[in-house]
A = this chain, B = another copy of it.
Amino acid sequence: MKKKPVSIRNIAEELKISVTTVSFVLNGKAKEKHISKELTKKVLDYAKSINYRPNQIAQSLRTGKSKLLVFMVEDISNNFFSQLARIFEDIAYEKGYKVIFCSNENDDEKANELITLFNFRQVDGFIIVPSPGIRETIENLIKDNIPVILLDRFYEGLDCNSVVIDNEQASYDATQHLIDNKFKNICFISTASDQSQMYGRLHGYEKAVEANGLEPHVLQIPFNEIIKGKGKEYIRAFFQKNKDLDAVFFSTNYLAQSGLEVLKETDQNLIKDLGLIAFDDNDMFKIYDPTITSVAQPLVEICTKLMEVMLPLLKKKDVSETHQKIVLKTDLIIRESSLAKQK
């Protein structure tokens, strides 16, 4: 049978003292509240002996803090996000916070639904990879003084904490690297999205191409078509039309996945002849043939910064004063796929 866990009241009764005293001692306020050393020790010892654990629900109700953070990403099964989750998990637990991970699929309705599900209040803070159209929801969270940090992307003009990477620079460098390796017809395969991260990646590419007097070749696939699994068709058609490409830059890891599938289907040798770079690193890229060059995001640094920004927010009364925008540098991991090919 389910035996009830011991409460602070049980301890108080057992030791014939008040609940208040027990609470003070357990919260380390013994000194401050003038509880005698002997009694303090007695309480501590007894609590330990029965393995007392406070009921966090009751604590939450009383204090208004749940020690729960929401980490909302696009898709937790995506390698990039699950890596982030794994790292953030450790950092958060170390600070006494539990984390609820969820996936919004970059869909506004789903994102809003999830945020209301968490009830605006029963969670101490949000880390959100925002879908395109939930700017207003975010504004409301901030207005309600809930700690929020945007991750991976942000809204132009919205004053909000965020941790992102320098997408434009990353993309520029990757493109320039291809150019340095003698590739001339470099295409950029991306989503039809005006979200900040995609915008940055596109512009970095365009700038680099232009700076070198080359022609841009851009494919932008509507996001909902990708969801429907039609990404490959778009890519296939694009390659069909652009026969003279000598390099491909994929702007996300799932596009790289689809793109490589298409290339493999089309012609086994294509993959070796083309210059290839993918955004977001993947362990598999190390063992692919050729090994694949990628733009790696600084995962640990991202998570560290997230917590660094989050912690003070959780303490503060007023969240709005100090909006920080953290922009991190990426790493271009150069592997075989982007090096000049000797024919």
> Which residues between 252 and 300 of chain A lie within 8 Å of chain B, taking CB atoms?
257, 260-261, 264, 268, 271, 282-284, 286-289
Interface contact A121-B79, CB-CB below 8 Å: no
- Specify which of A57, A86, A100 lies most central, judged by the most chain B CB atoms within 10 Å of its CB: A57
Q: Please, how many residues of chain A have a CB less than 8 angstroms from a CB on the other chain?
A: 55
Question: Is A1's CB within 8 Å of the partner chain B?
Answer: yes
Partner of A100, one of B1, B98, B257: B98
- B residues less than 8 Å from A271 (CB atoms): 289
Q: How many copies of this chain sit in the oligomeric assembly?
A: 2
Binds B, one of A112-120, A155-163, A220-228, A326-334: A112-120
Q: Is A56 an interface residue (CB 8 A)?
A: yes
Q: A235 to nearest B CB, angstroms?
A: 13
Select one of B2, B118, B120, B288 contacting A288, CB under 8 A.
B288
- Please tell me if the beta carbons of B122 and A101 are within 8 angstroms of each other in the complex: no
Option from B55, B99, B102, B318 in Cβ contact (under 8 Å) with A89:
B102
A49 CB–B CB distance under 8 Å = no
Q: A85 an interface residue at 8 Å Cβ cutoff?
A: yes
The answer to whether B57 and A145 touch across the interface, beta carbons within 8 angstroms, is no
Verify if A46 is at the interface (C-beta below 8 Å from B): no
Q: Which residues of B contact A283 (CB under 8 A)?
A: 257
Q: Known contacts being A57-B57, A122-B55, A264-B287, is A101 close to B85, with CB within 8 Å?
A: yes
